[in-house]
Structure 1
Amino acid sequence: MEHHHGQTERHQGWKTSRSTDLIFRGITAACAGLVLVVMAGIFVSLVWNSLPSIRHSGISFLFSKAWDPVSNEFGALSSIYGTLMSTAIAMLLAVPLSMVIALFLVELAPPKISYVVGSAIELLAAVPSIIYGMWGLFVFAPFMADNVQPLLSKYLGWLPLFQGPEMGIGMMTAGIILALMILPFVSTVMRDVFAMVPDVMKEAGYGMGATTWEVTKDVTIRYGIQGMIGACLLGLGRAIGETMAVTFVIGNSSDIFISLFEAGNSIASRLANEFAEASDPMYMSALMELGLVLFLMTFGLQVVTQLWLKRVKRKMGGDLL
């Protein structure tokens, strides 16, 4: 009798546990599905509101730099160029610097210094973007105009990238401000990734006579490559869609210049500058199509990066990832 009673209790416990698992699985699946629904809703909304502009301009919208709301001439080329250029500058500056900072904090710095510096970097992530923009306009842009741009023009002025008016605002300033904004996110994630590398793997490297640099290069970085790429994606997503900080310092020009000293515009800055004053339906639709282009650019970059990540994992070996 007691044996039968024990079996009944175990059976009920198993049923309860199974029901809990099913509920948990359903909740997690619903949350994951909600993300897809929201993304699909954003995409459909952007496409629907962009239809008048798509019918009006067609594919030429992507290859024209004209932007004249009075005559209903709209083109996204200058905004796409500004978005990609400012983001590229930010990533070229922020990613190597973030990697060096993360490696220093994990591999070289004493624990107390690592804690203090790491906390200070994390605090930078809490600074609102509009503060970066105001600081960039009133402090950093004059510094660029008075010191950095004249120096670059003097020694590298023979390159088209460093020719043009030394105003302080422009593509270079916007890229540097973006780099400062994404650096806390990228470096913090990279630091956590490097900290998760098993000590036994590094100790094995040291035991075989490897130097600190060799262990860092061949063990730490190889083991954490997937997390490093994730950190770069996080920074890329922040940089490519940043609005207020870029709006303050990029200059809002519809022309395309090779020089980094010249003013430009990004998709996000154009939307921030002009969305409130867009009263004409076609004008509004063109801005919505700009938003659609930004959405598709971000999605495309994510897809390309994931494909590249799979290639890296196959090349470096799944045992280190």
Structure 2
Amino acid sequence: MTSSARDYDLAGDVPIEKKMDVSRALDVGFVRLTLVLAGFAGIILIWVIVQTTEAALPAMQQFGLGFLVTSRWNPVENIYGILPQIYGSLMTSLVALIFAIPLGIGTAIFLTEDFAPKWITAPIGFAIELIVAIPSVVLGLWGIFVLIPAVRPLFRAMNQTLGWIPLFGGPAPRGPSLLLVAMVLGIMISPIIISITRSTLESLPRSLREGALALGATRWEAILTVMIPAGLSGIVSSIMLALGRALGETMVAAMLSGNANRINISLLQPGSTITALIASQFGEAGRFQVSALMYAGVVLMVLTLLINIVAEIIIRKFQNLEQ
């Protein structure tokens, strides 16, 4: 084959070097485009943070860090504090994880470790995606009209038998409560844990499982001592992502928490969250109250940022252990 023949592709009409130049140009252009889009996303994030902080400055200057440790919220006297909302946000999110982690990891194992028949895997996956697609306001209505009547006898039994424990004490529960919010949030965030954990387990080499079984491990021993530790970084990522989703949920918290501006240690009593406070009061807020609500939003962003930082540290630690 002559050099001129080698310089053309099979079609014989386009020089190979020219095609390589076009392909290289497309690659460079795509890299630059993604860089611009990533920078644009970062700019939007910084813009949101700056604008929110600027709107919150009057309240920050007025209350300082006392805003975080004060329980009084009085728009008439312009006295504001969000300690009950911080407590409610953290408690509902953590309790939601208690519900969602076993459900999410257990479902992921059921779907990936050949426990589920092939004909049922697709319907379960579709149902998980359907839960994600349900609007939160619909879940809030379901909680009011279906879940509250269903769990009220259970909550009252817990209150009567475990009332000596502060988390289940207080008057007999009647309706909205922090535990109710946590239950619905657990349902909402479980698909996140299921999807990411399932993808993590499916991406692991089958040789890990087969090697453990060949060495005499039982099926569950292979899952618990080999597969789960090998995919721990992905599982932790899913849990932290679900925690961030729970902290930022608005409608469910606003509809089911009771919006009580006080700290109730008991999960069976009404409470409030930062997102519920903002949603319920922003529409009728005056100028200074809007600044206080923006301050609450800044606090929520800081909490989410701290959670993401902790998550990144934990994930890197587990990745180092895996290596």
TM-score, normalisation: structure 2: 0.93
- SS of the equivalent of 1:186 reads helix
Paired position in structure 2 for 1:155: 161
1:201-216 matches, within 5 Å, as 201-216=208-223
Which residue of structure 2 aligns with residue 120 of structure 1?
Answer: 127
Partner amino acid, structure 2, of 1:177: V
Q: Percent identity?
A: 33
Unaligned 5+ segments in structure 1 are none
Q: How does 1:145-294 map to 2 (within 5 A)?
A: 145=152, 147-165=153-171, 166-278=173-285, 280-294=286-300
Equivalent pair of 1:144/1:168 in contact (CA under 8 Å): no
Paired amino acid for 1:229: V
Q: Deviations over 1:94-139 (max 9, x none)?
A: 0121111111121111211222222222221111101110111122
CA contact (8 A) 1:149 1:168 kept: no
In structure 2, which of residues 99, 106, 121 is the aligned counterpart of residue 93 of structure 1?
Answer: 99
Q: Which moved more, 1:63-72 or 1:16-25?
A: 16-25
Q: 1:54-69 residue pairs with structure 2 within 5 A?
A: 54-69=60-75
Deviations 1:52-94 (A, max 9, x none): 1111111111111110011000112111111101101101110
Quick one: which amino acid aligns to residue 143 of structure 1? Answer: A
Q: Does 1:39 align with 2:45?
A: yes
Cα RMSD over matched residues?
1.6
Please state if 1:106 is matched with 2:140. no
- Counterpart of 2:85? 79
Partner of 1:49: 55
Asked if 1:300 corresponds to 2:306, the answer is yes
Deviation at residue 213 of structure 1 after TM alignment: 1.0
3-state SS of the aligned residue for 1:69? Answer: coil
Secondary structure of 1:74's match? coil
Retained in 1: the 8 A contact 2:136–2:252? yes
**In the TM superposition, what is the alpha-carbon distance from 1:6 to its structure 2 partner?**
5.3
- For residues 102 and 216 of structure 1, the distance between their equivalents in structure 2, rounded to whole angstroms, comes to 12
Letter in 2 for 1:101: T
Alpha-carbon distance between aligned partners in 2 of 1:182 and 1:11, rounded to the nearest angstrom: 52
Contact 2:237 2:315 in 1 (8 A): no
Gaps of 5+ in 2: 9-14
Per-residue CA deviations over 1:134-161 (Å, capped at 9, x if unaligned) read 111122112222x111221232121111
Aligned-residue offset at 1:296: 1.2
State the distance in 2 between where 1:135 and 1:216 align.
Answer: 36
Which residue of structure 1 lines up, in the alignment, with residue 322 of structure 2?
317
Determine helix, strand or coil for the equivalent of 2:186: helix
Matched-pair contact (CA < 8 Å) for 1:141–1:249:
no
- Whole-angstrom distance in 2 between the partners of 1:5 and 1:44: 61
- Which whole-Å CA distance do the structure 1 matches of 2:137 and 2:35 have between them? 36
Q: What secondary structure, in the 3-state scheme, does the structure 2 residue paired with 1:149 have?
A: helix
How many angstroms apart in 1 are the aligned matches of 2:238 and 2:322? Answer: 20
Cα gap change, 1:277 to 1:109, in 2 (>3 Å): same
Q: CA deviation at 1:304?
A: 1.0
SS of 1:73's partner is: coil
1:54 corresponds to which letter in structure 2?
Answer: M
